[in-house]
C-alpha cells in the first residue's frame, strides 16, 4: 500500500484553518495514489488547548468540523486526531466525557473512532484533567486495494506502556493487526528520536508488524511554556527496519509505497543529530511559530549588551524573523565598557541587523533625583543597580508597544534559576528565547551558530569576556559557571536532591557530560573539596527557592530540555520544605 504521513503544524483552536489544511493534504495525496493518509494527535484542535477543552461548544464544534472532511475521503482512507465526546443525563444532571481520539474515514464514511487509553499526567501533560481513558481497544478494518486491512491504532502515550498496567499495543496485536499506527503530539528534547525508535522497535520485536509513527510539528503553549514539536515522523517495517523518516522541525507529507507484509530491501540508517544543532533549530522554530501564531508578530527587538546571552538571542532572531525584521538596541550607562559596546555593535553589523543606541545614564540620574527629593535617599546598592535594568526594560517595552515588535528576553536557565535577573527589568519581554538553556549550553549553541553562519557572526570577544551585567563599577557575575551551571541544571532538570548531588561529588560520579573542565582544563574535582562543593550546592539551592516569585512573573520560556521552568516545573512561592538548614542537618 502507499502510505502518506502528514506531518502538519496545526494552530491551537483554529478549527477552520486546521480542517482546511487537513482537507488540502488529503486532496493532494489522492492524485499521488495514496491509499491511506495519517495525521497527528489532535490535529483538528491543536494539542495544547488547556482549559479550552472545558468549553463544550468548542469540543462540539471540533467534531462537527471533523465531519466536514468526509467528502474528501473518496477513494482514500484518512486517520485524523480530534477530540471526541459523549454526554448523557445522570442523576438529574448531564455528564460530559471527552476523549483524545482518532477518526478513521474512508470513501465518505466514518469507519471507526479510537480513544486514547494511557493519559499522561507528568511534566506539562494534563490528559487526566480533561480526558476519559478508552474503555476498550479494538482494531479498525478498512478496505485497501480490494483487501481487508486491520489497523491497530494507538495515540501517543499508548506506546509508552512500560509503567502502565494496561498495554494497548499488545492488546491490539493479539486481535490480529496488519499495521500499527500511532499518532502523536510528542514534544522535542535533544535525542528524543532515539527514545521513540527504541520504544517502537520493542513493539515490533514482540509483534512482528510494521509500525507507522506520525508526529506533529511546530509550537504550542500552555501559558508559561512554549512547547516545541519536532516531527520526525517515521515508518518501520515488520523487522524494525526504518523504511522512511520525515524531516525535523518542518511540515512535510511523506509518501511511502511498501509491502506491509515484508521487510524493506534496503532499510535506512537512523538519522544523525547533533545536540547543539537540534537545540538551535528548535529555538528558531519555536520563536518563529510562537510569533506567528500568538500575535502575528513579524518583527523583533533585542536589547544587546555585548555578552554571550544577548548575542545568541540576536542570532536566533535574525534567522527566525530575517535580519531586516530585527532591531538591536544597546542601552549603555556610565558603567558599560568600550569593549562590550563595541562587541554589541560588531554583532549587529555581522548579522546585518539595524543597530541603535539609547544612553540611559541621564534617565537614571533624573529618576534617582526625583525619587530622593520626593521620598528618601536610596541606600540599598542593589536597588541602585536594578534601576539600570528597569530603565532598559521600560524603554524596550515602550519600543515594543510603539512598533508592535516582539521584545525578546535574554535570560538563561542558570540566571533565571538563581534569581540573577531583574524583575520588571531585563525580565521584560514577550518571550524568553534561551530561558531553558544552562549558561554553558549558551556558549556551545553560540559556537554552533557561528558554524551555521559559516563565519564569526558572534565575535570571539563575546565568548572570552568575564560575564557581567555592568550595573556598577567592577561588577561581575558572582558565579563560576562551569560548576554552577551544571549544578543548577541537575537540581532543575533531573530534580536531584542537593544531598544526593553532594554525595555524587563525594563518590566522583557527577555527570561528566555536564560537569566539563573549564577553559583552563580544571575540573570540578580540582576546584572543590566535598565541603566547598556542598556549600556551593546549598547556596544554589537556596537561591533557586528564593527566586520562585520572579520566575512566575517572567515571560513564557521555549522548552528544549526534559524539564523547564514554567508549567513544566510547577513551583510555589510559599514552600518551607527543604530549607537549607534542614538539608545541612541531613547532609
503-529 burial, b for 16+ CB within 10 Å, e for fewer? ebbeeeebeeebbeeeeeeebbeeebe
Contact status, residue 15 vs residue 61, Cβ threshold 8 Å: yes
CA distance 134 to 126: 16
Distances (CA, A) of 516 to 417, 447, 563, 580: 20, 16, 21, 27
Q: Give start-end residues of each CATH 3.40.50.620 domain in the chain.
A: 281-586
Contact status, residue 464 vs residue 552, Cβ threshold 8 Å: no
Query: Can you tell me which residue has the cell 525535523?
Result: 248
CA distance 465 to 468: 8
Contact status, residue 407 vs residue 301, Cβ threshold 8 Å: yes
**Is 156 annotated as catalytic?**
yes
* Closest C-alpha among 242, 282, 273 to residue 258: 242
What SS3 string covers 349-372? HHHCCEEEECCCHHHHHHHHHHHH
Angle among Cα 183, 189, 192 to the nearest 5 degrees reads 55
Query: Can you tell me which residue has the cell 480513544?
Result: 115
Angle among Cα 531, 535, 538 to the nearest 5 degrees reads 140
Domain 281-586 = CATH 3.40.50.620: yes
Query: Can you tell me which residue has the cell 528544549?
Result: 560
* Closest C-alpha among 149, 445, 409 to residue 300: 409
Q: What's the confidence (pLDDT) of residue 582?
A: 55
Q: What's the confidence (pLDDT) of residue 113?
A: 98
Q: What's the confidence (pLDDT) of residue 569?
A: 92
Angle among Cα 289, 291, 294 to the nearest 5 degrees reads 95
How many H-runs (helices) and E-runs (strands) does the chain carry? 19, 20
Q: Given CA atoms 311, 316, 322, 326 in this order, what sign does their dihedral have?
A: negative
* Neighbouring-strand partners of residue 142: 149
Angle among Cα 386, 391, 392 to the nearest 5 degrees reads 100
Q: What's the confidence (pLDDT) of residue 572?
A: 92
Q: Which of 21, 111, 116, 550 is catalytic?
A: 116
**Is 41 annotated as catalytic?**
yes
> What top-level class would CATH report for the domain 2-273?
alpha beta
Print pLDDT tens along the chain (587 aa). 999 999 999 999 999 999 999 999 999 999 999 999 999 999 999 999 999 999 999 999 999 999 999 999 999 999 999 999 998 777 767 788 999 999 999 999 999 999 999 999 999 899 999 999 999 999 999 999 999 999 999 999 999 999 999 999 999 999 999 999 999 999 999 999 999 999 999 999 999 999 999 999 999 999 999 999 999 999 999 999 999 999 999 999 999 999 999 999 999 999 999 999 999 999 999 999 999 999 889 999 999 999 999 999 999 999 999 999 999 999 999 999 999 999 999 999 999 999 999 999 999 999 999 999 999 999 999 999 999 999 999 999 999 999 999 999 999 999 999 999 999 999 999 999 999 999 999 999 999 999 999 999 999 999 999 999 999 998 899 999 999 999 999 999 999 999 999 999 999 999 999 999 999 999 999 999 999 999 999 999 999 999 999 999 999 999 999 999 999 999 999 988 876 565 554 55
Q: Which of 25, 41, 385, 493 is catalytic?
A: 41
Q: Which of 48, 156, 238, 317 is catalytic?
A: 156
Q: Is 505 left (phi over 0), alpha (psi -120 to 50) or beta?
A: alpha
State the chain's maximal CA–CA distance in angstroms. 88
Query: Can you tell me which residue has the cell 553562519?
Result: 453
Cell numbers given for 329: 538596541
Q: Give start-end residues of each CATH 3.60.110.10 domain in the chain.
A: 2-273
Phi, psi (degrees; rounded to nearest 5) at 182? -125, 120
CA distance 86 to 94: 10
Amino acid at each position: 500500500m502507499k502510505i502518506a504521513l502528514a506531518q502538519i503544524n496545526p494552530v491551537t483552536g483554529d478549527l477552520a484553518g486546521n480542517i482546511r489544511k487537513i482537507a488540502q493534504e488529503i486532496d493532494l495525496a489522492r492524485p499521488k495514489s495514496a491509499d491511506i493518509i495519517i495525521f497527528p494527535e489532535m490535529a483538528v484542535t491543536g494539542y495544547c488547548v488547556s482549559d479550552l477543552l472545558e468549553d463544550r461548544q468548542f469540543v462540539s464544534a471540533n467534531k462537527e468540523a471533523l465531519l466536514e472532511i468526509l467528502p474528501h475521503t473518496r477513494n482514500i482512507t484518512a486517520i485524523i486526531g480530534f477530540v471526541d465526546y459523549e454526554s448523557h443525563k445522570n442523576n438529574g444532571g448531564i455528564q460530559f466525557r471527552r476523549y483524545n481520539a482518532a477518526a478513521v474515514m474512508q470513501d465518505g464514511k466514518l469507519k471507526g473512532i479510537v480513544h486514547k487509553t494511557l493519559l499522561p499526567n507528568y511534566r506539562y501533560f494534563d490528559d487526566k484533567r480533561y480526558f476519559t481513558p478508552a474503555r476498550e481497544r479494538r482494531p479498525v478494518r478498512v478496505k485497501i486495494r480490494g483487501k481487508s486491512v486491520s489497523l491497530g491504532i494507538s495515540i501517543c502515550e499508548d506506546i509508552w506502556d512500560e509503567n502502565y498496567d494496561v498495554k494497548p499495543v499488545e492488546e491490539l496485536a493479539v486481535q490480529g493487526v496488519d499495521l500499527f499506527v500511532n499518532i502523536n503530539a510528542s514534544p522535542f528534547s535533544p535525542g528524543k528520536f532515539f527514545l521513540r525508535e527504541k520504544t517502537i522497535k520493542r513493539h515490533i520485536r514482540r509483534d512482528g508488524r510494521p509500525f507507522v509513527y506520525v508526529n506533529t510539528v511546530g509550537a504550542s503553549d500552555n501559558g508559561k511554556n512554549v512547547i516545541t514539536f519536532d516531527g520526525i515522523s517515521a515508518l518501520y517495517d515488520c523487522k524494525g527496519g526504518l523504511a522512511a523518516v520525515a524531516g525535523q522541525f518542518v511540515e512535510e507529507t511523506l509518501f511511502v509505497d511498501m509491502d506491509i507484509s515484508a521487510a524493506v530491501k534496503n532499510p535506512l540508517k537512523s538519522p544523525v543529530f547533533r545536540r547543539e544543532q537540534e537545540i538551535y533549530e528548535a529555538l528558531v522554530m519555536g520563536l518563529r511559530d510562537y510569533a506567528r501564531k500568538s500575535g502575528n508578530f513579524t518583527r523583533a527587538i533585542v536589547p544587546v549588551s555585548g555578552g554571550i546571552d544577548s548575542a545568541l538571542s540576536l542570532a536566533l532572531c535574525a534567522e527566525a524573523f530575517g535580519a531586516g525584521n530585527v532591531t538591536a538596541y544597546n542601552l549603555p550607562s556610565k558603567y558599560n565598557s568600550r569593549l562590550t559596546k563595541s562587541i554589541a555593535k560588531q554583532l549587529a553589523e555581522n548579522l546585518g541587523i539595524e543597530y541603535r543606541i539609547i544612553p540611559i545614564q541621564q534617565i537614571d540620574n533624573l529618576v534617582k533625583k526625583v525619587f530622593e527629593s520626593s521620598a528618601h535617599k536610596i541606600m540599598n546598592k542593589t536597588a541602585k543597580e536594578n534601576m539600570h535594568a528597569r530603565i532598559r526594560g521600560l524603554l524596550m517595552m515602550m519600543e515594543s508597544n510603539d512598533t508592535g515588535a516582539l521584545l525578546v528576553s535574554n535570560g538563561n536557565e542558570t540566571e533565571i534559576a538563581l534569581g540573577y535577573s531583574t524583575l520588571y527589568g531585563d525580565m521584560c519581554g514577550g518571550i524568553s528565547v534561551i530561558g531553558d538553556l544552562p549558561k554553558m549550553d549558551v556558549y556551545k549553541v553560540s559556537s554552533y551558530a557561528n558554524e551555521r553562519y559559516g563565519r564569526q557572526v558572534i565575535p570571539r570577544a563575546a565568548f572570552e569576556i568575564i560575564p557581567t551585567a555592568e550595573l556598577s563599577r567592577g561588577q561581575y557575575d558572582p558565579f563560576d559557571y562551569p560548576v554552577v551551571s551544571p549544578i543548577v541544571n541537575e537540581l532543575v532538570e533531573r530534580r536531584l536532591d542537593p544531598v544526593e548531588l553532594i554525595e555524587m561529588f563525594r563518590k566522583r560520579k557527577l555527570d561528566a557530560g555536564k560537569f566539563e573542565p573549564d577553559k583552563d582544563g580544571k575540573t570540578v574535582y580540582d576546584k572543590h573539596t566535598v565541603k566547598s562543593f556542598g556549600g556551593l550546592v546549598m547556596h544554589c539551592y537556596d537561591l533557586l527557592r528564593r527566586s520562585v516569585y520572579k520566575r512566575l512573573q517572567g515571560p513564557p520560556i521555549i522548552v528544549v530540555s526534559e524539564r523547564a521552568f514554567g508549567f513544566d516545573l510547577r513551583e510555589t512561592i510559599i514552600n518551607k520544605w527543604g530549607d537549607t538548614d534542614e538539608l545541612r542537618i541531613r547532609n
